[in-house]
Amino acid sequence: MVSEADLPVLRAILPADMKKFESPVKAADLTVESIGTFLDDVLGGKMKAHLKSEKPVDNSKNDVYTLVGEDFDSIVKDPTKDVLVKFYAPWCGHCKKLAPIWDDLGAFYKDHPELIIAKFDATANEADGVEIRGYPTLMFYAKDNKEGVDYSGERELQNFKDWLAENSSVLKSAGKTGSDEL
């Protein structure tokens, strides 16, 4: 979506891929040649897709990381970390119900810096290769599998702890079990 603050802007949209691209040339400086180059670069795969993103957040004191489009790859794709992400919409009732459980989960694992519990507002941010079709969507990105695994189990705190104890190599190497008390 283009906001009023973004205008004027030249964008190209490839509906088949659900990707959009933004010209690096300001609208006032566009020429027939720069528009042609922009379209050639888009169609030739030379241009990176434009992804919306809020400003990054200082997560140094957060039990649950707030991810934005701009820092998604640096955190989620970090090969030293297991990352469990809740993709949510602020207006979603199921997301609101899950929020306090997610906060408790983050607090429970706060002393495990290699296991990140994160949230990503998918209405205000985008990440390359991530297509969210419903809210909340829960994905686990293990150290050794950055493609992501869909979490579709029950959504109570103990369910998450048990699932992470079985699936997180970080917790397995630390000897942490899902039955540990808060």
Q: What is the pLDDT of residues 143-177, one digit of tens each?
A: 998 999 999 999 999 999 999 999 999 898 877 55
**Residues spanned by CATH 3.40.30.10 within the chain?**
65-174
pLDDT score of 128 more than 50: yes
The predicted pLDDT at position 179 comes to: 52
Does the domain made of 65-174 have the CATH classification 3.40.30.10? yes
The per-residue pLDDT for 2 is 65
- Average pLDDT of the residues in 10-36: 84
More confident of the two residues 165 and 28: 165
What is the average pLDDT value for the chain, to the nearest integer?
A: 89
Check residues 57 and 11 and name the one with the higher pLDDT: 57
pLDDT tens, position by position, 68-118: 999 999 999 999 999 999 999 999 999 999 999 999 999 999 999 999 999
Q: Determine whether 109 is exposed, middle or buried from the number of CB atoms within 10 Å of its CB (0-12, 13-18, 19+).
A: buried
> How many C-alpha atoms does 96 have within 13 Å on its Cβ side?
4
